[in-house]
Amino acid sequence: MQNDTTQNEKDPHLWEIAKRRASFKYHLLSYVLFNAFFWVIWVVNGKEDYSHNGLPWPVWPMLGWGIGLAFHFLGAFVFSERNDAEKEYEKLMRNKK
């Protein structure tokens, strides 16, 4: 059974990257669903509730949550290869030899 991969056969570094990316995908899905729900609530209530800047109130949760989502994306896809501690450790090991 080649399709059955045990935990011991997985590369721990790649497994960690895969977990971070899967976590981001779930975070993105919840962002889309909840914010769609917020907009539906705003439309059903008559589109009359605006903030002081003339923006609908669902813009603010989208903006705040979007910032967190952007950082989650960066951690999962952009800066996911190696962390600074791993780089420093490898640098020290090279200099030691």
Return the pLDDT at 5. 53
Query: For residue range 37-93, what is the model confidence (pLDDT) as tens digits?
Result: 999 999 998 887 777 778 899 999 999 999 999 999 999 988 866 666 776 777 787
CA angle 51, 56, 61 (to 5 degrees): 90
Report the C-alpha gap between 45 and 54 in whole angstroms: 16
Return the pLDDT at 46. 82
Return the pLDDT at 90. 74
Sorted by sequence, the CB contacts under 8 Å of residue 56 that are 6+ apart come out as 39, 42, 47, 49, 50
φ, ψ (nearest 5 deg) of residue 63? -65, -50
pLDDT at 23 > cutoff 90: yes
This prediction has a pTM of: 0.72
